[in-house]
Each structure stands twice: as C-alpha cells, then as structure tokens.
A and B are shown apart, each in its own frame.
Chain A
Amino acid sequence: MSEYDAALAIFMQETEELLAQMEYGLLGLEDNPGDSESINSVFRAMHTIKGTSGLFGFDDVVAFTHEVESVLDKVRRGERRIDAALISILLNCKDHAADLIKHSLETESAALPDALKATGADLIMQLAGTPAVSAKMAAASQPVDHEGQAEQAASASNHDNSGDNWLISLKFRQDALRNGIDPLSFISFLKKKGDIVAIQTLAPELPVGNQMDPESCYLHFNIIFHSELDKQAIADVFEFAEDDCDIRIIAPHSKVEHYLDLLQEQAGDDDNHVEKLGEMLINIGALTPNEVAAALQQQKQAWSQGSATAKPLGEILVEQQFTEQPVVAQALKKQQAAREKTIAEANYIRVDSAKLGQLINLVGELVISGAAMRLMVDRYGLSDVEEVAVGMNDLVSEIRDTALKLRMVAIGDTFSRFRRVVRDVSNDLHKQIELVITGGETELDKTVVEKINDPLTHLVRNALDHGIEPPEQRQASGKPAQGTVHLNAYHDSGHIVVQVADDGAGLDADKILAKAIASGLVTADQQLTKQEIFNLIFEAGLSTKEQLSNLSGRGVGMDVVRRNIEALRGSVSLDSIEGRGTTVTIHLPLTLAIIDGFMVETENERYIIPLGMIEECVEMNSSEWEIDTIQHYINLRGEVLPYLRLGDYFHNRSRHQGNEHRESLVVVRFGQAKVGLVVDQLHGEHQTVIKPLGKVFEQLQGISGATVLGNGNVALILDVQSLIQHAVKRKGPYAGAVTPH
C-alpha cells in the first residue's frame, strides 16, 4: 500500500471517529443544551475534519464543513442559541458530511452528483435560515476561498458588536522610516487580510513646529480589525516591523483587563487620546462605558496622588469585581481538564488488529510449548527444573491474559450508537421511547463487538417497531406514555450476556402459533410449550405484523440474527410476558482463542471442559446417592440434577454397563441450567488453546473445538451448552425443574 493509501486509511478511520463524536455530542446537547463541553467537541470534530480534508484536497468536504463550522463557532461563542431544530439540522449535516467524505474517497476527483449538491445547498440554507444574532450569513453554496469568505462575513457583521474584532495597537518607533518600514504599507497589507473596522491614528510624541524631523516616524495606530485569522497570522503581518514597532494584539473577547491595560499605558499621554481609545473599545463592546470611566477615574486619582506605583488596573479590576473570580477559576479548571485529556489521549496507540491476531497466535503456541515442557519435567523427574518451569508457566498465563485483553473493547460504544437509532425511529413512528443503557463497561473481543452490531440493530428495531406501542395505546392500558428500551450487558461464567428488553406489548403466543400453522411450520396438533412457540420467531418467514414497514415485518430478520449469533458460537433466546414486555437474551463466548480448561478422562479419551462453567467436582458415590438411572437424575444434596455419562454419550450407548471403578461427577452450569457429567478421571486445570475443528465438524453436537496437548495429542473441548440441552431433554418429566442455585 502506498503511503498515500496508508494516509487515506488513517483519514477514513479518523473522520469516522470524529463524526461519531459529533453525533454523540449533538445527542448529548439535546438533553443538555447548555453543555459547553459537548458544543466544543462538536465544533472540534467539524474543524478537524475540515482541516484534514483540506490536506487531501477534498474541496467539497472543506466547503461544506466550513459552513457548519462557522455556525458551530457562533454557537460556542454564545452568539447563536442551540435548540432542537438546529440540532436536527446539524445531525443531518453530520450525515451529509459522511456522504461527502465517502464520495470523495470513492471517486477521487469526480464532481459531486447532483443529489449530493442539492442536499448540501439545502442544508446550508437551513443552517442560515434559523434566526440568529448576526443578520446575514454567506448563503451561497459555492466553494469559496477563505479571504473572500472572511470579507463577506466581515461586511455582514459590521453591525455585529461582538464579532471577531481584534484590537491591534501599533507604536512605530522614530527610526522606523529610516529602517525602511512604512506603516502605510503594513496597514494596506492588513486590510487585505480582513476588515478594518476602525482605525485611530495618534501622534503623541509629535514635537511642535520645526522640531519635527520629517524622516522620523511619530505615528501610533489603534486598529479595530475584523478577521478570521488567528493571533499568529495577524502577528505575521507585522513580522518585518517587529524591530521598529511595539505591537500589541488583543484577541476578541479578551479579558477586560487587557483592554484596560492598554488604556493604562496610554493614560499617561494625552487624555483626549485615551478617551478616544476608550470610546473605540466601548464601540466594539470590549468594555462598558462605566468600566472605562471607573477604571480611568481610579487611575487618575492614583496618578494625581503622585504615587509612583499606581495600582495596576488589574488589581483595581479585581477589587471592583470587574473580573469574575468564578470565571477565572472555571478557566483554570478547564485548563486542567484539557491537560488531563491530552495526557489520556496520548496514552492510546492505534494497533493493527492483524498484528494483534498474530500476537495471540504466538501466545497460543507458547502455551502449548509450555505444556510440553511440563510433561518433560514430569516424565524425567527433573525436580530442580520444575520450579523454573512452574514459574515460566505462570508468566505465560499472565502474557496470555494480557494479550487477550488487548483485543477487548467495551460494549458501551456500540450501545451508545443506538441512541441515534432510537431517536430517529421514535420520531418517525411518533412514539416516545427512551433508551436505557447499563453494563456499557462490559468488555468483549473486538471481532465479536463488530459482528454483534447487526443482530443488535435488528433486535432494537424490532423492539421499537413491534414492541413499544404508540403513546395513546400505552396510556389506555395504564402504562406511562413513554416506553423504555433497555440495553444491558454483563459477564456470566465465561460468557458475556447481552440483553435487549422493552416494556412494550410483549409477544402474543397464540398469534405466533396461528401464523406458524398458517405458514406450515408446525402442524395444528403439535403440542408446543410457550418457550417453543417463542422460538418459532427465529424461523425464516414468520412475522405477525400485518403490514410491512421498511423497518421490519418481512420475516427475514430473526433467523439471520440467530444465524449470526450462532456463527459466533453464541446463542439467543427470548422471553416475554404479554402486555408487559419482551426480553431477548444473547449469550456469547468471552474469548475465542485461549481459555482456562479442566481436563477429564473417560474411557481413555481426554476431554476439556471450560473451567468457568464448572460448579464443582465430586466423587461419585453410586452406592450412597439416589441415582435414578431410568430418568437420569441424581439427588445431589437435595437438589435434582440431571446427569450424563460422557462415555455413554460419546459412544452412543443408551444403557450403561455398570463397572466397578470409581467415577467422578463434574457439575457444570450454563445460564440457569445445571448438569452433572460423569467421567472416569479428573486431570486438573489446563490452559487450553482452542483450535477450530473446521467445517467438516460443523454439525457436531457436544464438541465445540479441539486443542493440542503437550504430548502432541489432540483433546476435544466439550460444548457444555449442547450437553446440558441433551441431558435436560432426556430426564424424566417427573424429575421437575432444575432448581437454580
């Protein structure tokens, strides 16, 4: 990949993140219109996108984002109020920006298709159309160059008292002209960069009459300058004059004291000039007349009292409370936060996920090597090496855990993206729906997070479309008008559980059954439990919605959801109470690569059970326990436990041939269901590197993978979930339900 392509790839990733950040900020502003952090983050996003797009020459993107950025700049400076209408427009702008970027990336220099052009123009009009403090904005949609833009904006906001007005104070020294510095040329140049709102020319040192030296420069200028430039750019204008001129540049909306400082400097001169400056400052809104009068008065007093050290205006300001202490404190806090943020940001590194995958593969091989070494140590009884070997194994364990954690990503980000979906859909359907998110900090493997996005989206849309009823209907049934969709995630014994719950209408089992019979999925005389009826929803082609909407109702969603989740070696189930709501629960394995396993042996074959699913291991006491061999359950300390002999299961034997040797019982749990597995021998914990069995064994029941042991042999990893399902099905109806622990 060429460097340019590599740079483009980074650009794509960054803009994606920035747009997500922008959306997040905008949605936050809907709840909290005053949150300046959100406003700033939205502005920064647009600003950065504009800048980087400019680097790549994506002019269309630059032009559009510039418009949006200007609006956001006004918002963050308090010149424009942010309200729900504006947020909606801005969200659409974010979408449009994404489209523009996509277009620019895909067709490098082609012209914008008309549809995009039209959307862009439309959005810009909408941005301008909402009432704002400044009267005219650049309503045209052609790509512009910055200077022209600045001039237009400047002329538009001549009446704008709190515009981008810089105060530039130039005090040319006497030798300026002699050194080839011509004030007029600088000022002309300055004019090109922006708009000179007002200019005050002073000559406080001009001597009288024939004492004036025509080759000396006595001129001072106070200029109110309106421009888009930043301070450095303005300073650059006067770069060459630096040696011969005292330049003071005060940014717009600077603290009052800066202006007053300036006044103070000139206070020693002609009062008239000072007043003029004060007037100018009042005109641009930097100071109020009272402030100027009061401060100057004090200054005058101090001066006239002859105190050599007139109190600095700043102090006077503080005393007079012209500056606001909280503002200062706030500014300091913001600085601190900004500093911390940069520290936090600097701690993240972008890593290519292919490299991470490679690292984890190598760690896997290392684990197997370590196991082989352990075996050698045992076989040859090398006791001195044993300690070292054990130490090494522990280190390998730690590396394994850390490496796997590298790929873990919090699910919260994925959940948060649904806020937009919920907002848009509830607006479209005229329903009131709130999204509640819990467990966002739960982490799972990055690939799983990516693959779970589609199924989750479908489930959320189902909840919004089918689940939550319209407000009137809800109120009629005594529910609050606002419905809730709840996204939840948590860890459970080596699995991660993700739930999508809603407090809507729930599932109508009869309706589902009727539809299923009508579609021929089941016959009319089949007896199905409620759970089985619910599970029918996962069959393709089934939908109880009478009308299609473009969101759902076609009946092709749920089976795809189930297939996607099963492809991740997960499972999905749902539960519902009619009239109260529905909950869809997804189980996903926590790691894909290396797990803590427990090795058991039965009939000379070794198997691995995921350690997280094991509740306990007990010696099987056939003589003392109540074992029902017909119904296949055991009375374990008063608890009914279905059981399953691994040997019989894997050799397809339905009747057990009794034998005299000691057996062990391993109690495993998946979700709420427990089962006892009867094995011949227990071998203890074993770091298990999961090796996929391949497509040939895709349909295999009871085995979820394989691993390579230290001695080079292959051991099979048990699929606890399917074993439990088999055992539970098999036990007698008289045994009753398994009591949850």
Chain B
Amino acid sequence: MINLAIEGKHTDTASVAGDQFQQYLTFLVGKDNFGINILDVKEIIEINNITRIPKTPDYIRGVINLRGNVVPVIDLSARLDRQRSEITKLSCIVLVEVDVHGESQVIGALVDQVNEILDIADADILPAPDFGTDIRTDFIQAMGRVDDNFIILLAINRILSIDELSQLQRVANTQAGIAMSDDTSNFKKLDKSDEY
C-alpha cells in the first residue's frame, strides 16, 4: 500500500533571486488537473474498502478505517458538481485536516489520479477568475501558472467544510423522507418538524 505521509512545515524556502515558492500537490479529477497546497495535505493513501453510508448525498462516498479511526471520504468530482468518480487502480484518497470551531477533523478526498508536486512561485499565483470555469467560485483559491498553462488551485478547506456538508445532509434527509412517503398519501403532509 502506497502510503505517502507528507507532513510538517515547509522549511526550506527556495530563494532564487528573492522569489518565494510554495509546493502544490497536483491531481486529476476527471480530465482536469487541480492542485492544493501541500501544507493542507496530511496523507495520501490507496483505496481499500470504502464503507458506504446510506442516506447520504452522492458526494459522500462513505467512510474508511484509518488506523482505527473512522474517516469520511468525499468524492471530489461529485462535490465539484461533476460526475461521480469511477474507482480505478490509480484512484487515491488525499487526507486533509479540516478545522471547524477549534476542533480539527481528518477528511478524505477521492481523486482519480495523483500527479507530481509542483513548486510554484508566489509571483505565479494569480487570483481566480469570476467566470470561465464550471466550478463554484468560492471553491477556487487561486490560479497557478505552470509554464504556459494554468492550473486551478482549490480551496480545499471550503470544499470539505463540515458545516456545509452537514447542512446538505439535512436537505438529503428531507428529500429522502419525501421519497419514502410516496405511497402514504392518506397521511398528513410531512413538514420540517417531522424529520424522522
């Protein structure tokens, strides 16, 4: 099992003519290359068994057993409003530590393929465009220029924000509730306080 544990602070700053570099992990989601700051990445692991959790939105693939702890796995592709990922030999889970209200939780992001780690100078980091991509603008942290191409750098903390995830869960509950009671027309209408 490939188990790349990348942690710790970025200690050696490349000082080429006063430029500051930061390292970014790049990966494929669908056909597109994305990147996130290496400092946000806790670990990268292979996919073992993802246990599906019923009644959850599509982008929550399930949970895995990480050395005795139960860690949720988010399907990045689905979360970015694209198709559900297909699990292949190259698929990996990128573990990110997300901070919420002072407590931190580890959440895994399912990606289709992990590529290289790039050094991108701060000068090559440009603000995100307001339009032009199919991704939610608040999910994009910045654009990074690599040679002649641009790579979208994701605001991973926002994407994996627990608040938003659990809110969406509530919506999923209600939707499921309506689905379940299709044949209960002679019962009273379900309303918000009727969450079971």
Closest chain A residue, CB of each to CB of B180: A654
Q: Is the CB of A652 within 8 A of B176?
A: yes
Contacts of A701 in B (CB 8 A): 55, 173, 195-196
* B-binding segment of A12-20, A106-114, A233-241, A705-713: A705-713
Q: Which residues of B contact A722 (CB under 8 A)?
A: 196
A702 touching B54 in the complex, CB below 8 Å, given contacts A652-B179, A695-B100, A712-B65: yes
List CB contacts (< 8 Å) of A634-657 with chain B: 649-652, 654-655
Give chain B nearest CB distance to A653 CB in angstroms. 8
- Measured CA separation A700–B51 after assembly (Å): 15
Residues on B with C-beta less than 8 A from A706 are 51, 63, 70
In the complex, whether B88 has a CB less than 8 A from a CB of chain A is no
Report the bound CA distance from A23 to B51 in whole Å: 54
Q: Are B70 and A692 in contact (CB under 8 A)?
A: yes
| Chain B hits for A726, CB < 8 A | 196
Query: What residue in chain A is nearest B50 (Cβ atoms)?
Result: A714
Contact call B181/A700, Cβ cutoff below 8 A: no
Residues of A within 8 A of B100 (CB): 695
Q: Is the CB of B56 within 8 A of A712?
A: no
B158 interface residue (CB < 8 Å to A): no
* Min CB gap B171→A, angstroms: 9
| A294 adjacent to chain B (CB < 8 Å) | no
Binds A, one of B128-136, B142-150, B161-169: B161-169
Q: A693-B63, A698-B169 are in contact. Are A650 and B54 (CB under 8 A)?
A: yes
Return A103 CB to nearest CB of chain B, in Å: 30
Cα-based distance from A607 to B29 in the complex (angstroms): 32
Instruction: Give, as a whole number of angstroms, the nearest-CB distance from A607 to chain B.
Output: 9
B105 A714 Cβ-Cβ under 8 A = no
Across the interface, name the chain B residue whose C-beta is closest to A361.
B68
Asked if B69 contacts A697 (CB within 8 A), the reply is: no
- CB within 8 Å for A713 and B181 given contacts A694-B105, A701-B195: no
Of the candidates A650, A713, A733, which one forms a contact with B55 in the assembled complex, judged by CB atoms under 8 Å apart?
A650
B108: min CB distance to chain A, Å: 11
When A655-B183, A700-B55 are in contact, do A695 and B166 touch as well, CB less than 8 Å?
yes
Could you give, for residues 714-741 of chain A, a 1 whenever the CB lies within 8 Å of some chain B CB and a 0 otherwise?
1110000010011001100100000000
Instruction: Convert B14-52 into 0s and 1s, putting 1 for each residue whose CB lies closer than 8 angstroms to a CB of A.
Output: 000000000000000000000000000000000011011
A712 to chain B: which residues have CB within 8 Å?
48-49, 65
| Contact across chains for B162 and A654 when beta carbons are under 8 A apart | no
Give 10 A-B pairs besides A649-B54, A696-B60, A706-B51 with Cβ atoms closer than 8 angstroms.
A605-B54, A691-B68, A693-B53, A696-B107, A696-B166, A699-B169, A700-B56, A701-B195, A714-B51, A715-B51
Can you list 16 A-B contacts with CB-CB less than 8 angstroms, sorted by A residue number?
A: A649-B54, A649-B180, A691-B68, A691-B69, A692-B70, A694-B72, A697-B56, A697-B169, A698-B169, A702-B54, A706-B63, A712-B48, A716-B54, A722-B196, A725-B196, A730-B181
A residues neighboring B (CB under 8 Å):
365, 368, 527, 605, 630, 649-652, 654-655, 691-703, 706, 708, 712-716, 722, 725-726, 729-730, 733
**Chain B interface (Cβ < 8 Å from any Cβ of A):** 48-49, 51-56, 60, 62-65, 68-72, 100, 103, 105, 107, 162, 165-167, 169-170, 173, 176, 179-184, 187-188, 194-196
